[in-house]
Chain A
Amino acid sequence: MDLNPMLHVEKLSKSFQSGQRRLTVLQQVSFALAERATCAIVGPSGSGKTTLLGLCAGLDRPSSGSVTLNGIQIDSLDEDERAQVRRDFIGFVFQNFRLLPTLTALENVMVPLELRGETNVRPAAADWLERVGLADRMNHYPAQLSGGEQQRVALARAFINRPKILFADEPTGNLDADTSERVISLLFDLNQEAGTTLVLVTHNLDLARRTQRILRLRGGAVISDERTDGEYKARAGADARE
């Protein structure tokens, strides 16, 4: 077991009050991921994938259990402290791209650095857009870009703050097959290049198999934890199992 995993999830549970009933969407989930590891979370709709991702990224509070990210136990932090963790260590890619409609592609990519209070970030953002092949679309607004282009802007935004860990929620869910393939290749290339830990939520088993490890969820619990001979092996450290 890695003593200092990038992500350590311990007996994580989440339940909601739904009318008179208490609904448990995640129960007693535990796992750990080493630095630079890649992992897919799969499962049918309603199995708790997105809830798990949200808890791992500090977007929500668990009902019980703990999440330690880069050595910081984030479940005990307040909302602003968790935002600070996300700002400093985490990158996100969403199914529906989630770009700010009022900002150009370039400005969208600048956001994470600007939130840190960094100045003169335009060149870095332009550089990232160039790397995702959108040098000529920098000043376009999201509404003026295709779905694939919007997802590439989202990738540039996710990587610009050099995150330790990247959470991707169905990153190709809204794209056609060809565009999906290009975006996924780019995602894995950038991830490998940056040495980022990757947590990918997907329905797509082929895509899941490109990671080193697949966690299967059903009814809020992990039903299998499979190691694959994924396309990209971890370069340092082995994945830690509890």
Chain B
Amino acid sequence: MAWRDSRSHRRRLLLFVSSITLGIAALVAISSLRQNLAAAMQAQAKVLLGADLVISGRQPFAPEMEALFDSLGGRQAREVRFSSMVYFPKPAGTRLARVKAVAGDFPFYGKFETEPPAAAVTFREGQNALVEEALLLQFEAAVGDSIKIGNVTFRIAGRLLRIPGESAANAFFGPRVFIPMRFLEATQLVQRGSQITYSVQFQLDPNVDADRLVRDLKPQLTRHRLNSETVASRTRELGRALQNLTRFLNLVGFMALLLGGIGVASAIHVYIKQKLDAIAVLRCLGAEIRQTFGIFLVQTLMIALLGAALGAALGVYLQTLLPRVLGDFLPVQLEMNVSWRALADGMITGLGLSSLFALLPLLSIRNISPLLSLRSAFEAQPHSGRDKLRWLLYLAIVLAITAFAMRQMENAVQGLFFTAAVGVAFGLLAGVARLLTRAVRKYFPSHWSFVWRQGLANLYRPNNQTLMMLLALGFGTFLITTLYLTRATLLRQVELTGADQQPDLVLFDVQPDQAEQVADLIRSFNLPVMQQVPIVTMRLESINGTPTRVLQRDSTAGIPEWALRREYRSSYRDSLNDNETLLAGELQRRRTQPEETILVSLEEDIARDLKVKLGDELVFDVQGVLLPTRVGSLRRVNWQRMMPSFFVLFPGGVLEGAPQFQVLVTRAGNAGLSARVQRAVVQKFPNVSAIDLALILTTAETILSKVAFVIRFMAFFSVFTGLVVLAGAVITSRYQRIQESVLLRTLGAQRRQVIKIMTIEYFFLGGLAALTGMLLAFAGTWALARFVFETAFSPAVLPSTMIALGVIGLTILLGMLNSRGIVDRPPLEVLRAEA
């Protein structure tokens, strides 16, 4: 009976369920990706690190440590890495890059992917460099050309395509250049105060357990402020990052599935409404409630199963695309295999959720009276608010969502938080959508023409799915608009940095004896030296007498580890800059007597993190010399400006003799002049590095557009689900639309009038959905800008308008495509054809 009854509606029912297809496809594809990633990381674990153990620090290793390393056995390789300007003579250009001087046979596992492939090995044999592909592309340089790093010119031996264990996204933050270690000294870039990381990489004997070794070495490593990394720790760390990525994607996919679920509920609701007569007749003929309910339940489940299977099949195809979308963010080579577990997971989740959502409208079948077959127009539907089963079903849906979220997050609190967030998000969307539709209806000018009023009125036709469509389309719009607005806000923040005579070029790693010459060079370009700042690196040794290594182990101290372990780059001066405000205490301008207490000025956030107040004692380790200080004042710093700012500011008369380097700040005003200055500086002072605004902008744009691409890919699922729901709703209401159009045509409406009414209806639908999504996106991005990025919200009006127009255009297009053929033929012919 269920099969026979569905005969005339199968295609329509299939469309209902296709709204869950994309959600299931997303889940299957992402779960599959997650499992393939886990398998790849397991298989390529050692390649991720390239060694069994890596130990690194900010100082050359002490003789005691060198002796220790030698005693560990196995094979060793060395790396010294730092940031430096790389000069391309042809065409003349400079760029800040991460230079890695290497010795030994690292990587011990896996290999550098280069072009030509042999370059990965041969570059070590002479004065050669391996240069990241992106950098070569930027300067249109080729293998065989030369680059200059410091005082040494290297021949480009090969293009660096991939480094084991590092994702291509790493290159966004700074392109990498590898040189042989033996030429490092000649570059003269390793000087006192330079920011350098020294690493030793080990291939241990097979019977040595790297993690146990690290545990044993812990006291020495801590004493010498060295960090260690093993295959297990690298895998753990990468696994966490990738898990966050796949979790995020999975949750977005799940949102698409939820939207689809609501779409199914809405469509089945309309379907049942259209079936009221048939159900009442069945009841008249003696069918029990159980039987009529069963007929439609079986229909729904069969179609849901088909939808889930379609979704799973689509998911299997999509998973082959995901590595391409995410390629830059993945540190391992992926081989995508069909994950049966992911397939089963996706199908069960999709089938379960769509069945639960479909049951909601199906429940009303139990209340349909046989009397309806006699008096269909006047039979009131029983009130469903007191239906206990319905409330149980709501509870089951909430529990299902929570269970899914908990499984994803592997954390009950986060799972509950996600469920609550979904509730709030949908509640807000529904609330805003309802508010907007009511406002439009209430304040719509009554003197506007009939077609406008009728187009609007159509949104309220009986059994309308307006709210559902606003939810589905609004959510997609919200995701995409938020993405654009956040991107615009962040880029605007960078752009503002260089506006209005603000500095836009920072030269750093300037040695004290070079400072005046560099300043003169800047002035020779008629540019001002806006700031000349000394920088001294130091670490925090103790707070109020408690050593930081003790505080690190004390979980009750509540001080973040990074604040205790970090290398503080501090400066000294006798006044505040115009981006600083004194909040408490007094600035000690200069210490005049050696016995006078050193009063440092702390930035307010770091003071809060370190849990210190005015008068507290901080002891700093300035490259081996312990320096006791007290907190003399607290400052607020505007970090948005492109000028050196510091967590810790010392008075004059303390650090002048410490190893230091200088930073010079100027404003070039345009990218061309900035590049010329950098070239001149690097040619004359190869150890000096530069960061300019254009570089920051380019980097930010590259990273943001890569991230945006991934999010857009996921947002596509929501938007497309929204469109499928829209198509379903339009097709469901096609019969009503035809009746209305035929009536209007009968009453004498012209073709263009009927088309205009339909277009206006879809315009309102798309417009209200876009407005709903955009309002929430503006609110969301404002909150992100205010509370997360702590910057001014930049309302990107043009992209937002384009998105809104796109959503409206798509809605109208889809609506009109589904309504075609209604207005071209004589009214009676249309009625006969559709009967």
Interface positions of A (Cβ within 8 A of B): 16, 51, 54, 57, 59-61, 79-80, 82-88, 90, 92, 98, 100-103, 107, 110-112, 114-116, 119, 143, 147, 157
Contact = CB atoms under 8 A, between A and B. Distances in A.
Contact of B825 (A79, A84, A143, A147): A79
A103 B743 contact: no
Contact of B458 (A82, A86, A102, A114): A102
A101 B748 contact: no
B748 A79 contact: no
B747 interface: yes
A190 B749 CA distance: 24
A101 to B, nearest CB: 5
B454 A83 contact: no
B70 interface: no
A36 B319 CA distance: 74
Interface string B442-473: 00000101100110011011100000000000
A82 B748 CA distance: 8
B377 interface: yes
B465 to A, nearest CB: 14
A151 B62 CA distance: 100
Interface in B745-775: 745-753
Contacts of A59: 746, 826-828
Interface residues of B, number: 31
B826 A60 contact: yes
Interface in B373-399: 377
Contacts of B450: 110-111, 114-115
A115 B457 contact: no
A87 B748 contact: yes
Contacts, number: 81
A92 B745 CA distance: 12
Nearest to A157: B747
Given A101-B461, A110-B450, A114-B449, A60 B747 contact: no
Given A16-B832, A115-B450, A115-B744, 11 more contacts: A59-B828, A61-B826, A79-B751, A80-B752, A84-B750, A100-B454, A100-B743, A102-B454, A110-B450, A111-B450, A115-B747
Contacts of B749: 83, 87, 115
B457 A92 contact: no
Contacts of A147: 377
A116 to B, nearest CB: 8
B486 to A, nearest CB: 39
A106 B96 CA distance: 74
Nearest to A88: B748
A86 B748 contact: yes
Interface string B137-167: 0000000000000000000000000000000
Contacts of B461: 101-102
A115 B454 CA distance: 11
Nearest to B743: A98
A84 B750 CA distance: 7
B270 to A, nearest CB: 14
B804 to A, nearest CB: 25
B834 interface: no
Most buried by A among B377, B740, B748, B832: B748
A110 B743 CA distance: 14
Contacts of B462: 101, 143
B605 interface: no
Majority DSSP secondary structure for residues of A touching B: helix
B824 interface: yes
Contacts of A110: 450
Nearest to A122: B446
Contacts of A116: 748
B173 to A, nearest CB: 57
A83 B457 contact: no
Nearest to B739: A98
A90 B748 contact: yes
Nearest to A161: B748
Contact of A87 (B447, B747, B825): B747
Contact of A103 (B454, B747, B748, B828): B454
21 contacts: A16-B832, A80-B751, A80-B752, A83-B745, A83-B748, A83-B749, A83-B751, A87-B749, A88-B748, A100-B457, A100-B743, A102-B461, A110-B450, A111-B747, A114-B450, A115-B747, A115-B748, A115-B753, A116-B748, A119-B447, A157-B747
A139 B379 CA distance: 22
B829 interface: yes
Contacts of A112: 747-748
B754 to A, nearest CB: 9
A80 B746 contact: no
A23 B216 CA distance: 97
Contacts of B826: 59-61, 79, 82
Given A79-B751, A80-B751, A101-B462, A86 B746 contact: yes
Contacts of A103: 454, 457
Interface in B803-835: 824-829, 832
A103 to B, nearest CB: 6
A115 B753 CA distance: 8
A51 B832 CA distance: 11
A196 to B, nearest CB: 16
A82 B825 CA distance: 12
A157 B827 CA distance: 19
A91 to B, nearest CB: 9
Contact of B740 (A79, A100, A119): A100
Nearest to A174: B377
Contacts of A87: 747-749
A153 to B, nearest CB: 13
Contacts of A79: 745, 751, 824-826
A161 to B, nearest CB: 8
A101 B824 CA distance: 23
A148 to B, nearest CB: 12
A107 B449 CA distance: 12
A59 B828 CA distance: 6
Nearest to B460: A102
Contacts of B753: 115
B562 to A, nearest CB: 61
Contacts of A54: 827-828
A202 to B, nearest CB: 19
A88 B826 CA distance: 18
Contacts of B747: 86-87, 92, 111-112, 115, 157
Given A98-B743, A102-B460, A114-B449, A60 B748 contact: no
Nearest to A114: B450
Contacts of A80: 750-752
A92 B748 CA distance: 10
Nearest to B462: A101
Contacts of B832: 16
A241 to B, nearest CB: 27
Contact of B827 (A51, A60, A101): A60
Nearest to A163: B748
A125 to B, nearest CB: 12
B732 to A, nearest CB: 16
Nearest to B453: A107
A98 B750 CA distance: 18
A101 B454 CA distance: 11
A124 to B, nearest CB: 14
Contact of A60 (B453, B457, B740, B828): B828
A51 B826 CA distance: 13
Contacts of B739: 98
Nearest to A146: B378
Rank and list the top 9 A-B pairs by shortest CB-CB distance, nearest first: A87-B748, A114-B450, A102-B457, A60-B828, A86-B748, A54-B828, A59-B828, A59-B827, A60-B826
